[in-house]
Structure 1
């Protein structure tokens, strides 16, 4: 902008005029159109009428011109012939810039489940060409043979360094079979707590599992996977697997402790204890036929949406259940009951293959209330930081709820009793299983408050024995916890108190059991090790607080217990990590990639990168 505008301003009533700041005279800007405006008349006005302002204007203009000339070499826009020629030339494959772009492309393919053929897609190639015209797009073979192994090697090295520092590691494992190709894959995921009690997770393997899935074959595969990562068996705390006999036998033959997946056990309990009841099974069969009608008919689905809108109801689709997921059946019943009015209106105008009777509607509504506790527990144990410590409190609270009688149980008393029996049978002995009991004891949210009176002393003795054993073995390996806080962790670093759950909920039962046992604890006496006695004598932290943060700030006070916690709190209570891994595998080995012949070793590398690359970003402080 010209310096002359320091002495003028545009007329508010007519943009063709400029008002002089000194004499308030109106001066034409040089035309009637915006494109013809100039500053000549304004400069002449200053020169003829305001000599001092004109002199200041000339000085300001000269200073501005000199600054522009000094900056000109830095802002040169015209390229030399050599620069122009180089700009049109494509990068070779080896320069750092080209290698960096290749890496980002392979990261994109791995993280977003994209096929390697994306480098041939018109939209993607145009995008990359726009961002970097000099980049030559690689072909698929170069990506699979060069870029993929390079990135895999880099991520592998990072995970390997983390694994080496882990003193105690817990694992999950599962077997998955593809529906689009004759491929089965065996997973192995790991999680551990570092010296600061930060939970680390990594996918170690999702390798092809050829032949029959016998216990011997699976145990041999475990042997190979542990050797690959140079993990001693004594560093393996536990392997969480499903309830299949071949998996249980394989871990026993391999020689590492194992636990069944709690989510799988709940699945068996609900299916065997409630969903198999004749009246309930009949209601569910009718519900599945109703949902299936809308799933397979776009016309019926459109009509149903119109009815929902007429009734001022939110437009929602009915949910189909999956036989291997009991909670999907719960969600199906929920969706049906929510849309009861809309379904009744639909049945009045259009045909349905079948309809639910009043009795069946009542059964569904009561089963939703009954299974609500199971659904809450399933969500809790499937959380990323859920551990084996959550099993005993969850089972004890759930069985207490199922043992209570309530007026709302009318019509489903048999199912409720069957659920109680199934849960009690499936989880019989959890309070005496050391892997569960000790994990619960060192979780500051639970401690010994959830054990039956006749099991509490046994659990304390188990903890004392393990503390003594680990203290005698690891005295020379005592971690330096000088930087840890000695303040009472029960009063800091906790989440705000949660909103009170409704009466009769699973969360209410957790709190009720804690209150009962706090009172009982005050009257209990006995000789214990100093640390264990002091730790158990303190109040529990909030259920919503993080036990890892508790031990991070308390390890200086209870160093022997902290070593036990670092080992036993690594154990998850479900094999959810492996199941989520296979959800990703199903996207990698899909129909498109199966047709172009994606090899299993490439698929494993892609999954390994997808799951572990964010871990490298996190440790390097990247987003």
Structure 2
């Protein structure tokens, strides 16, 4: 209170949660003045030097992108399409060198090596590549090579052909609405306001500008291939926009792509949401509510997870 600082409890890191180390360092640096004053007053046997405090602040800066992106992939709205762009941004951030890296260059190199090793095959997984292409925020702008981009587009075309065959089979008696509207200009996509400004947004935009492509001529003969070429040749939408709202607004222009996007964009990035679902069930069912039937428990869980969506 004498330092005009609000009381704050220090956080202890947990070995199984890497971000707990980030939060521990963050609380330490936030309470630096109080800790230094306390150690001076009580003559503690071990204290941090000015150089060590500086290293902690640099470590915090290096880990900040990981913390931000971890929150992003842990969100309920995150999908498999976020994986490749996030890995690309992480590599870009870690590979940059500046004067402020003195003392943590080896750490950044080790982190970059770990990211390369853990995600070296991510651009060969059809789930991630097709989902990334079908996300209007990313499309083909975040692939690291022409070869992986081509493989991703081939995988997308294979999925679109399957979906076109299914639509033709199921709707053979109905006219193929939307085929003639493929080349109409894109509708404006509703925007979802971001709660906070992302510190890595400039890196995402930087990669997008580097990989902006010129419109390609329409060489396709099938409606599915025309849809894919038209969609990929159009500019990407803002990262703060909702890709699902984009597909809702353009479902008549890209009828086959919409069905394919619904298949791939629903895949979550991580298992965190399913773990949260189990946690919700454990909160609802306890010793004092042991007479709840399975049907009632299912209804309560459904309302807990979907009521906010139903009220929009």
| TM value normalised by structure 1 | 0.44
Classify 1:517/1:584 alpha carbon distance in 2 versus 1 (closer, same or farther; 3 Å).
same
| Aligned-pair Cα RMSD in Å | 3.3
Give, in angstroms, the shift of residue 454 of structure 1: 2.5
Classify 1:386/1:490 alpha carbon distance in 2 versus 1 (closer, same or farther; 3 Å).
farther
Residue 184 (structure 2) pairs with residue 491 (structure 1): no
Q: Deviations over 1:290-327 (max 9, x none)?
A: xxxxxxxxxxxxxxxxxxx1111122221222222211
Per the alignment, residue 127 of structure 2 pairs with: 435
- Partner Cα distance (2:91, 2:121) in 1: 14
Per the alignment, residue 608 of structure 1 pairs with: 298
Alignment size in residue pairs = 302
Classify 1:497/1:368 alpha carbon distance in 2 versus 1 (closer, same or farther; 3 Å).
closer
Per the alignment, residue 24 of structure 2 pairs with: 332
Classify 1:523/1:536 alpha carbon distance in 2 versus 1 (closer, same or farther; 3 Å).
closer
Per the alignment, residue 471 of structure 1 pairs with: 164
Per the alignment, residue 366 of structure 1 pairs with: 58
Per the alignment, residue 77 of structure 2 pairs with: 385
- Partner Cα distance (2:281, 2:45) in 1: 37
1:577 to 261, 266, 273: 273
Write the mapping of 1:8-19 to structure 2, written as runs, cut at 5 A.
none
Per the alignment, residue 201 of structure 2 pairs with: 507
The 10-residue stretch of structure 1 (453-462 or 489-498) with the greater mean CA deviation from structure 2 = 489-498
Give, in angstroms, the shift of residue 421 of structure 1: 0.5
- Partner Cα distance (2:162, 2:294) in 1: 40
- Partner Cα distance (2:282, 2:305) in 1: 22
1:545 to 238, 241, 246: 241
- Partner Cα distance (2:280, 2:196) in 1: 35
Classify 1:618/1:371 alpha carbon distance in 2 versus 1 (closer, same or farther; 3 Å).
closer
- Partner Cα distance (2:37, 2:52) in 1: 18
Q: Is the 8 A contact 1:389 1:443 kept in 2?
A: yes
| TM value normalised by structure 2 | 0.85
Per the alignment, residue 105 of structure 1 pairs with: none
Give, in angstroms, the shift of residue 605 of structure 1: 6.4
3-state secondary structure, aligned to 2:253: coil
Per the alignment, residue 459 of structure 1 pairs with: 152
Give, in angstroms, the shift of residue 585 of structure 1: 4.8
- Partner Cα distance (1:322, 1:346) in 2: 25
Per the alignment, residue 113 of structure 2 pairs with: 421
Give, in angstroms, the shift of residue 382 of structure 1: 1.4
Give, in angstroms, the shift of residue 604 of structure 1: 6.6
1:562 to 240, 255, 258: 258
Give, in angstroms, the shift of residue 385 of structure 1: 0.9
Q: Is the 8 A contact 1:490 1:539 kept in 2?
A: no
Give, in angstroms, the shift of residue 393 of structure 1: 0.4
Give, in angstroms, the shift of residue 351 of structure 1: 6.2
Classify 1:412/1:353 alpha carbon distance in 2 versus 1 (closer, same or farther; 3 Å).
same
Per the alignment, residue 42 of structure 2 pairs with: 350
Q: Is the 8 A contact 2:218 2:226 kept in 1?
A: no
Q: Deviations over 1:261-308 (max 9, x none)?
A: xxxxxxxxxxxxxxxxxxxxxxxxxxxxxxxxxxxxxxxxxxxxxxxx
Classify 1:349/1:523 alpha carbon distance in 2 versus 1 (closer, same or farther; 3 Å).
same
Q: Is the 8 A contact 1:381 1:573 kept in 2?
A: yes
1:450 to 142, 151, 158: 142
Q: Deviations over 1:40-73 (max 9, x none)?
A: xxxxxxxxxxxxxxxxxxxxxxxxxxxxxxxxxx
Classify 1:399/1:537 alpha carbon distance in 2 versus 1 (closer, same or farther; 3 Å).
same
Classify 1:428/1:607 alpha carbon distance in 2 versus 1 (closer, same or farther; 3 Å).
farther
**More strand, by proportion:** 1
Unpaired runs of 5+ residues, structure 1, are 1-308
3-state secondary structure, aligned to 1:491: coil
Classify 1:544/1:618 alpha carbon distance in 2 versus 1 (closer, same or farther; 3 Å).
closer
- Partner Cα distance (1:576, 1:414) in 2: 31
Give, in angstroms, the shift of residue 509 of structure 1: 1.2
Q: Is the 8 A contact 1:467 1:561 kept in 2?
A: yes
Unpaired runs of 5+ residues, structure 2, are none
The 10-residue stretch of structure 1 (372-381 or 315-324) with the greater mean CA deviation from structure 2 = 315-324
Q: Is the 8 A contact 2:137 2:238 kept in 1?
A: yes
- Partner Cα distance (1:357, 1:457) in 2: 53
Classify 1:589/1:542 alpha carbon distance in 2 versus 1 (closer, same or farther; 3 Å).
same
3-state secondary structure, aligned to 1:384: coil
- Partner Cα distance (2:249, 2:90) in 1: 31
Give, in angstroms, the shift of residue 341 of structure 1: 0.4
Kindly name which structure, 1 or 2, has the bigger radius of gyration based on alpha carbons.
1
- Partner Cα distance (1:582, 1:561) in 2: 33
